[in-house]
Amino acid sequence: MATDGIRVVLFGPPGSGKGTQAGVLSERLGVPVVSTGEMLREAVAAGSSLGRKVAEIMAAGSLVDDDTMSEVVGERLERPDVQGGFLLDGYPRTLRQADSLREMLQRQGVALDAAVLLDVPEEVLVARLTGRGRGDDGDEVVRERLDVYRDKTEPLVDYYRREDLLQVIDGDRPVQRVADDIVASLEAVR
């Protein structure tokens, strides 16, 4: 499959396997992953001014504000390594972020090829999230992250459906099966 220029958003609730799929798909499609969660965690670890600003918000399972995220992602998408395509993991997470992304790409004269939703039942998410022991995955925080997803991020399903970019993938299966389905769905749109 010709992957040159493929630009994909991966989204779904916390625990749906976005990060895992991003890694697998990056290998298979030959495009880099841009993970906002990773970028922010690195900023926190480095103790940068961005890191100091977002540490508490992340620990609570809330969302970093849209303007900050625009800045972070806008700068990242200008770098040379993503000019031939990318997998966006964890961005956008709000309708405003989706609009900003569209504008950023428009300014570069490109557009998304697809927005892939990883669909996983709630009880599976909770089991996965409470089992994995990340610092921001205590019970309270898990609930907060799921609520935030429902309130702020789920509206992206309709947004991307209207844009004719939505691909819904059953994410409650073995990693390679899910990846196969995503690759097939991307072949279909290109």
Residues at the site binding ligand AMP, with contacts judged by CB under 6 A: 14, 36-37, 40, 57-58, 61-64, 69, 90-93, 97, 145
| Beta bridge pairs of residue 170 | 119
Q: How far is the CB of 6 from ligand AMP (least distance, A)?
A: 20
Q: Are 186 and 113 in contact (CB under 8 A)?
A: yes
- Identify which of residues 3 and 72 has a Cβ nearer to ligand AMP in the complex: 72
Distance CA 41, CA 164 (A): 32
Distance CA 5, CA 43 (A): 28
Q: How far is the CB of 28 from ligand AMP (least distance, A)?
A: 21
- Identify which of residues 85 and 90 has a Cβ nearer to ligand AMP in the complex: 90
Q: How far is the CB of 93 from ligand AMP (least distance, A)?
A: 4
Distance CA 134, CA 153 (A): 21
Q: How far is the CB of 60 from ligand AMP (least distance, A)?
A: 8
The closest residue (CB) to ligand AMP is 37
- Mapped onto helix, strand or coil, the DSSP state of residue 8 is strand
- Mapped onto helix, strand or coil, the DSSP state of residue 161 is helix
- Identify which of residues 149 and 181 has a Cβ nearer to ligand AMP in the complex: 149
